[in-house]
Every structure is written in structure tokens, then in C-alpha cells.
Structure 1
Amino acid sequence: MLILRVVLGLTMAAHGYNKFFGPGGLKGTAGWFDSIGMRPGSFHARVAATCEMAAGLGLAAGLLTPIPAAGFVALMLVAAWTVHRPNGFFIVKEGWEYNLVLGASAVGIATIGAGRLSLDHLLFSGTAFYEYLHGWWGLIISLGLGLAGGIGQLLIFYRPPAKTEAS
């Protein structure tokens, strides 16, 4: 579980880091968000970068695991819907396959639990609260919160760009 959490979490955190500090930085990321219909782009660039880093590091550390897993679900739902949906399923055609794998993996971790080598186990094992960090509660929290967050963001902010004749 440690290997899966760390690889998945640091991969997501790297995506957030790249939005902050990669080529183009937040300004370039904001322009891209505007171009795909997530407006205002500057707001979404900051929110996505922050959420990717926080969810990634939280999952890697195994801290309150269903919460960062919910972040994965919300992020991947929005990415799949706004960017990858028109391209079909397979990643080789820039489809939403990768988004599904990342989101489902995070939910799987939240359901199974972060494992013995996690902050959840270190801080909360032996307490009643620990039961909310895995099992059915982990599944319900990660999937429910993630879907609510992603769908809410799409409903409130997503305005698909108008199609032109060249598109």
C-alpha cells in the first residue's frame, strides 16, 4: 500500500507543481484553463495546482486518506470531462483512461485503507475516528465528496468554448 500511495500521490503532486512552476507557470496554466472553458482561468489554475499538490502529498503520506482521495476524484472528473472526453477512452488518443485509473486507484486506497505505514495509522489507529478512514466509510467519503466536488465545479464554472467551423 505504501508503494501505491507514494507513487500515485507524488505523481499527482508533480502535476500541481508543474502548474505552479513549469513552463508558463500559473499564467500559462490560467490561459489554458480559459481556453478549455474553465473560467476564470487564474482562479482554476490556482485551485487545480493547490488541490493536486495537497491531494497528492496527503495521499502519499496517508493522512486523512479519504479526503485526498476525494480530491483525486474531483480533479480527474473535471479533467476527463473538460479535456479528454471528446477523445474517447484510450490514452493513446488523449482519452480519459488515465483519469479513470488515477481516480479509481485513489478510491481503492481510501476503501482498503492507507496501511500500517501511514499517518492515519500512526495518529488514529485504536480510536473510533480510525474507522472513518477506510472500509465503507472510506469509499463513501472519497467517492461521494469527490463526485460532489467535481460535478459542482463543472456546473458552476465550466462554459465550453464555442465551436468554430474549423473545429
Structure 2
Amino acid sequence: MDVDFGMLMVRLALGPMLITHGWNKIFGGGGLSGTTGWFESLGLRPAWLHARVAAVAEIGAGLLVTLGLLTSLGAAAFVGLMAVAALTDHRGKGYFIFKGGVEYVVLVAMVAVGLAAVGPGDWSLDHALGLDVAGYGWAIAAAVTGIAGAALLMVTSYRPKPSST
């Protein structure tokens, strides 16, 4: 029971955090047009498409993890989203988040892989539906799938403008 409560707390920390990030991309200060401009500045092309895909992926993955439904799939999306963030927005800024570094996104991705390894706990839809999608293999699959998805996105869509210096 302690593990079930602990995994619920992990899910309630990760899932709603990512949902609000996706929500903010759509309805935050600059809305989708602001997110599109930001993605354009990061070098993601076409920025209008990536702004929408990122928002939907964040909300969807956050919901899956929050509910404990297809948890390893949600974890893979977390890894992919955080890997893209590390390679674009946090690139070249070191480790620590207070300098814009990768600390936060690495932590989120690693906790997501840990969640795929341990599973969402008994207080989840995976458990209620009898889905046993946790363990070493699922954790490795979440990490590899997330990184592969991020790599594919970067190869096909990352086109930063050359610096003028």
C-alpha cells in the first residue's frame, strides 16, 4: 500500500505538471501564436505544427500518467518531450536550471522512466483494467522509444537559423 500511495504521488507530481505546460502553450500569455514564435526561434520547422503537436502531446502524456493509464506509453512521451526540450531550449546552457540548463528536463525524463519500471501502482487505471505494463523491459522501451522519437523529430524538423556572430 505504501508503494501504491508513493506512485500516486509521483503520478500527481508529473502528470498535472505536463498538462499545465501543454495548456499554457495553447492558452497562456501568447497563446498558440506565441508558442509558434518561440518554437520558430528554437529552430523547429514548421513551428506552427510543432507548437500544436507539443501542446497535444504534453496534455495527452500528462493525462495518461495522471490516470495511470498505459503508463509506459505516457512515460515514453515524457522522455521524448524532455529530450527535445534538452536539445533545443536548454542546449548549450549547462546542467543547472537556474542557468537555463538541462537539470529539470533530465530529472523529469528519468522519473518517467522510473515510473515505467515500477508501474503506476494499484491506484491506477492500468491496475483496474488488469494491464501489466511495468518492469525493466517497459522502462527500457519507454527510454528508447522516447529518445528515438526525439531523434527523429530533431533530424526531420530542427533547422536553427545560423548565428550572425
4+ long deviations beyond 4 Å: none
Could you tell me how far 1:12 is from its partner in structure 2?
0.6
Paired position in structure 1 for 2:66: 60
**Gaps in structure 1 of 5+ consecutive residues:** none
Paired position in structure 1 for 2:114: 108
1:5 aligns with 2:11: yes
**Gaps in structure 2 of 5+ consecutive residues:** 1-6
Could you tell me how far 1:151 is from its partner in structure 2?
0.7
| TM-score, scaled relative to structure 2 | 0.94
Paired position in structure 1 for 2:152: 152
- Report if aligned partners of 1:113, 1:138 keep a CA contact under 8 Å in 2: no
Instruction: State how far apart, in whole Å, the 1-side matches of 2:148 and 2:89 are.
Output: 19
Alignment of 1:1-167 (within 5 A): 1-125=7-131, 130=132, 133-165=133-165
Could you tell me how far 1:148 is from its partner in structure 2?
1.0
Could you tell me how far 1:164 is from its partner in structure 2?
1.2
Partner deviation per Cα, 1:115-146 (whole Å, 9 max, x = no partner): 00000000025xxxx2xx10022212211210
| TM-score, scaled relative to structure 1 | 0.93
What is the CA RMSD across the aligned residues, in angstroms? 0.9
Identity of aligned residues (%): 47
Number of aligned residue pairs: 159
